[in-house]
Amino acid sequence: MENVEVFDSPGKGRGLRAAKDLWAGDVVFSEPSFAAVVFDNMAEHVCHSCFRRQQKLQRCGQCRFAQYCDRTCQRAGWNEHKQECGAIKTFGKVPNENVRLAARILWRIEKEGEVVSDTQLTTLEDLEDHVADMPADDLKDLKVDIHNFLDYWPHNSKQHKVDYISHIFGVINCNGFMVSDQRGLQAVGVGLFPNLCLVNHNCWPNCTVILNHGNQSAVNTMFHSQRRIELRALGKIAPGEEVTVAYVDFLNVSSERQRLLKQQYFFDCTCQHCTEHIKDDIMMGGKEVDGNKPSKELVKEITEFSLQTLQKIDKARIDAQYHEVVKLCRACLEKQEPVLADTHLYKLRILSTLSETLSYLQFFEEAAGHARKMVEGYMKLYQPNNAQLGMATMRAGVTHWHAGLIEVGHSMICKAYAILLITHGATHPITKDLEAMRMQTEMELRMFQQNEYVYYSMREAALKNQPMTMMAEPVEENIKGLFRKK
């Protein structure tokens, strides 16, 4: 672990700091999971070894619970699943993901100890569990999990004291990290990464975390190699400077971020952006036109109306009433437009929902306009190399391409590619897909610049021969944070 070292971070406990100069896009460190499990609700759709989403999976013939891509994945996952398989058969049912993960952690400790490699910087025993800080409801859930764990844990495995089991559950609760599918687009499980647990929070961090499944053709050649996180630098980090990540999404006012951090991770954020309330004004402010702003009362009124509308939109989305979603968004945007700043959080949420839903319904031209405004707002709020900004810019670029707006589409895809090269790296599947999009739109742009009529004629003919498939069904944005909270 040549790039970082453990140190006592003032007011935060232990942390990691740079041991050498780091630059934007550098991998600060890479780490395989200590243990990981598929979420309960994804158990039938995701391989329990490589965490790929597949339409057809092969079920374990013993426990009938674990699912695998093929025999290669099943053999590779056997080290982790062997004891779990027997425990499920004996227990007679499958416990929840927390119990399954705790059991996998303890089985690995039993087999290899708490430190499983020379690069592991901390033991699990030394990680914070915050059990003493949990509210009553969380403590009640914890006791239920411990009770179920004790029933599930085999008698022939090493027995542990309740306090230690409670500690493991506490560590999972505050340090479990979302494990994504092979495209990196959907969380499908949760894992524990000990070194990552040492990286402290900052609302304006100098690093980001991504999950890179790596080369799937050589998958499982090493234990847990398929579930590996990368901590990547977002800009220059000098030796001695603490490396940080954001536990919650920056697109909240400072008081809300502080509330979430206190509730989920049990600390008071004192970063500069929180203490100085940086960008809070433009996140909830009014629209300035020729030096004039609407009254605070009017801004408050439209803000409250927006919040109420967003609640109605959420219900309509759950019910898959997408035309109603569009109707509500348009009506809300009409009221927001003359009053709220283009960086107002509720306006950005409306723009995001509207562009996403219109894309799904294939109203691409209108969707593109709203997506472009959304990205323009994000650019004034997020760090230049923020992964969420890169992903949003990519989606907006693709929407513009669907709308036939090749010049803006190509420009956005290029901007997204530059960001994701830093946040995800050149070998990540998303970056590879984006590079293919960039080359495709560059070729189309040259054709467009040579002869617009020929370009549109060829495009129309191609779309007639190969009709566009429906866009992915819109789902609620989930960028509230990288770290898992039950």
Q: Looking only at Cα atoms, what is the longest distance across the chain?
A: 76
What is the token pair recorded at 378?
């994000």
SS (H, E, C) 390-415: HHHHHHHHHHHHHCCCHHHHHHHHHH
Is residue 201 a contact partner of residue 215, using CB atoms and an 8 Å limit? Answer: no
Instruction: Please name which of 365, 361, 300, 283 lies closest in space to residue 327, comparing C-alpha atoms.
Output: 361
152/100 Cα distance (integer angstroms): 9
Tens-level pLDDT at each residue, the chain (486 residues): 899 999 999 889 999 999 999 999 999 999 999 999 999 999 999 999 989 888 899 999 999 999 999 999 999 999 999 999 999 999 999 999 999 999 999 999 999 999 999 999 999 999 999 999 999 999 999 999 999 999 999 999 999 999 999 999 999 999 999 888 877 778 899 999 999 999 999 999 999 999 876 544 333 344 444 578 999 999 999 999 999 999 999 999 999 999 999 999 999 999 999 999 999 999 999 999 988 999 999 999 999 999 999 999 999 999 999 999 999 999 999 999 999 999 999 999 999 999 999 999 999 999 999 999 999 999 999 999 999 999 999 999 999 999 999 999 999 999 999 999 999 999 998 999 999 999 999 999 999 999 988 888 888 777 766 544 434 545 443 323 333 333
Q: What is the pLDDT of residue 398?
A: 94
Distance CA 277, CA 345 (A): 15
**Listing from the earlier edge strand, what are the strands of the sheet with 27-32?**
27-32, 228-233, 207-211
Give the Cα separation of 384 and 158 in Å (integer). 50
pLDDT of residue 471: 46
**What pLDDT is recorded for position 315?**
96
Gap between the Cα atoms of 401 and 24, Å rounded: 29
- Tell me which amino acid residue 458 is: M
**Angle at alpha carbon of residue 148, lines to 144 and 151, rounded to 5°:** 145
CA distances from 326 to 54, 303, 330, 352 (A): 32, 19, 6, 11
Q: Which residues contact 297 (CB under 8 A, 6 or more apart)?
A: none
Q: What is the pLDDT of residue 456?
A: 85
| 254 and 277 Cβ atoms separated by less than 8 Å | yes
Task: Tell me phi and psi for residue 429, to 5 degrees.
Answer: -55, -40
Amino acid occupying residue 199: V
Q: Measured between alpha carbons, how far is 60 from 37 in angstroms, rounded to an integer?
A: 15
pLDDT at position 214 = 54
Strand 58-59 relative to strand 67-68: parallel, antiparallel, unpaired? antiparallel
The Cβ-side half-sphere exposure at 99, using a 13 Å CA radius, reads 23
Q: Which domains, ranges and CATH numbers included, belong to the chain? A: 4-245 (2.170.270.10), 272-465 (1.25.40.10)
Tokens for 100, please give them. 């399954």
Structure tokens at 357: 């839903």
Pairing label, strands 13-18, 207-211:
unpaired
The pTM for the full model equals 0.89
